[in-house]
Structure 1
Amino acid sequence: MLGRIVLSKRSKDEAEKPFWISFSDLMTALMVLFLVVMAISLLSVTQKLRDVQMEEAERADAIDRIVSSLQEAAAKHGDVSVTGSRDRVVIEFGEAARFASNDHRIGTPGAERLRRFAPEILNMAESEDGRRWFKRVVVEGFTDPRGTYLHNLHLSLMRAESVVCNLLAPGGAELTDAQKQAVRRLFLVGGFSSNSTRTTDEESRRVELRLDFRTVRERPEAPALLDVPLGQCRI
C-alpha cells in the first residue's frame, strides 16, 4: 500500500518565513534611507540659512564702514553731511547746493563743492567693500511746495540733471577722464518734486545724493554703455 504523504503546518510556515523576513528588512531599510535623506536636507537648509545670515551681517558691517569713511571725508569738505541708515544713506551739500526759486541751475560754490567731494564717493566705490556691495548714486532734486505738481516734478528733474552736468563739464575742479567714466557708470538722475519739503522754502530747494547698495542675493548689473559719446548738456 502506498502511504499517505502529509504536509505538516510547520513545514509551510518555515517555507514562508524567509519571504516575510526579507520584506520587513526592505521596509526598515527604506525607512532608514528616508530618515537619512531628511536629515541631510535639513542640514542643507540650515547651512544655507546660516550662510545668508552671515552674508547679511557682512553687508551691514561693510555699509557701516562705508558710511563712517564718507563721514570722515565730509568733515574735510565744509558743509557736507552724510546721514541715514543702512537702507538709505544720503549726502547733502548745505547752502552751497541750494537753488534760487524756480531755477534749475546750481551756483558755482555748489558745483565746486560737488566736484571736490565726488572723488571721495568714487574712491569708496572702488574699495573692497564698495566693489562688493555698492550699487549706484541716485541724484535727487527737490523743490519748494509752490507751483503745480508737474512743473515742480520737471524742475526737480532738471536740478538733478544740472548736478550731473556740472560733474562732467570741463573747468573748475575738473574730474579726470577715469572719474568722469565712473560718474557715467554709477550716477543716476531722479526727480522728486516737492515730496520732501523742509522747514523753509530755501532749504527745500536742494539736491541730495542717495547711495544704493546691493542686497545679499543681488548680482552686479551689466556695465553702462561707456563708448557712447559724452555730448553736452543743454539745460
Structure 2
Amino acid sequence: MLRLKTPRHRRAKDEAEKPFWISFSDLMTALMVLFLVAMAVALMGVTQGLRKIEETRKDREETIQSCIADIDQIAQKPEFKGVKVRGQTIDFGPLAEFRKNGNELSPERMAFLRNFVPQVLEVARHPNCQKWLKRFVVEGFASQEGSYLYNLNLSLARSQRVLCVLLDASAPDAPSQEDRRLIRQLFLVGGSSFNAAILDQPEKSRRVELRLEFKELRQDCRAGDTACQSEAPPPIPWDEDFKCPVAGQ
C-alpha cells in the first residue's frame, strides 16, 4: 500500500527576512528611560553633595559660636572685669590701655595679659575649635591726636608690645614654653590710625584688641574632610633670645 507523502511546509520566504532592529518607537522609549535613570543618579549625587556642604557649614557656625562662648566665660571671671567679647573681637577695655604717645604697659596690665591669654589658648587647643580657628590678630589703635603716619606707627608698636609682653620668658609670670610657641604660630599684629577712634574719649582709643579669624568654608569641602580644614601654620624656628624690638616711648 502506497503512502502518500505530504509535502513539508516551507517557511515563508519573508519569515527569514524579518528585520533584526527594534522599532524606532521602542528605541526612543529605551533612550528616554536611560536618560531618566542618568538624571536621577546625577540629582542624587548633587543633592548629597549639597547636604554635606550644608552640614559642614552648620558645623563651622556652631563651632565658632562655641569657641566664642567659651572665651566669653573666661572674660566673665572677676579678675578679668572690664574684658568684653563682641562678636569675634575681645575688647580688653581699660586693662590694655596705653598712655598718650606711648606703647608701654604698666606691670598690672602686663600681668593681666600673661594671665588672660594662656586661658584663651586653652580654648584654641580644643579639637573642635582648632579645626576652624585660623589665627588671632592683635590690633593696636591710636587716638586722632597727632599725624596719620605717626599714629599708624604708634598703633602698630602697641600691638607689638603685647607680643613682647607675652613672649618674655624672663618674666616671673611668663606663659609656658608651649603657650609661647602657640602664640608665635597663631598671633599676628596689626595697627589702625584714625580707624575706630573714639572721638569723645581719646584715652580709650589708645588700646589693643584681640580679634579671632576663622577659616572660610570652601565649596569643595565635605563634612569630616580634614584636608579642607587643616591649613596648619608653617613651623617657626624657635629661639629663647628675647629682644623686644619696640622701644618705649
**TM-score tier (shorter):** 0.7 to 0.9
Q: Does 1:233 align with 2:240?
A: no
Asked whether the 8 Å contact 2:143–2:203 carries over to 1, the reply is yes
Q: Does 1:133 align with 2:135?
A: no
Identity %: 38
Question: Which amino acid in structure 1 is aligned with residue 34 of structure 2?
Answer: L
Aligned partner of 1:124 in structure 2 is 123
Structure 1: 5+ residue runs without aligned partners? 1-10
Question: Which amino acid in structure 1 is aligned with residue 96 of structure 2?
Answer: A
SS of the residue corresponding to residue 212 of structure 1 reads: strand
The root-mean-square deviation of aligned C-alpha atoms, in Å, is: 2.3
Aligned partner of 1:50 in structure 2 is 51
Distance 1:17 1:207, change over 3 A: same
Asked whether the 8 Å contact 1:167–1:175 carries over to 2, the reply is yes
Structure with the greater relative contact order (CA < 8 A, sep ≥ 6): 1 or 2? Answer: 2
**Matched pairs, number:** 222
Asked whether the 8 Å contact 1:79–1:94 carries over to 2, the reply is no
Aligned partner of 1:65 in structure 2 is 66
Q: d(CA) in 1 for partners of 2:48 and 2:112?
A: 48
Distance 1:83 1:52, change over 3 A: same
Structure 2: 5+ residue runs without aligned partners? 1-12, 219-227
Normalising by structure 1, what TM-score? 0.85
The CA deviation at 1:216 is 2.8
Which structure shows the bigger proportion of residues in helix conformation? 1
The CA deviation at 1:192 is 1.6
Aligned partner of 1:197 in structure 2 is 197
The CA deviation at 1:141 is 0.3
Over residues 1-22 of structure 1, what are the superposed CA-to-partner deviations in whole Å (9 max), with x where a residue is unaligned?
xxxxxxxxxx88995654352x
Q: Does 1:38 align with 2:39?
A: yes
Question: Which amino acid in structure 2 is aligned with residue 234 of structure 1?
Answer: P
Normalising by structure 2, what TM-score? 0.81
Q: Does 1:79 align with 2:90?
A: no
Q: Does 1:220 align with 2:219?
A: no
Q: d(CA) in 1 for partners of 2:237 and 2:124?
A: 21
Q: d(CA) in 2 for partners of 1:177 and 1:216?
A: 32
SS of the residue corresponding to residue 19 of structure 1 reads: coil
SS of the residue corresponding to residue 56 of structure 1 reads: helix
Distance 1:233 1:112, change over 3 A: same
Counterparts of 1:78-227 in structure 2, within 5 Å, are 78-85=80-87, 89-169=88-168, 170-198=170-198, 199-217=200-218, 218-227=228-237
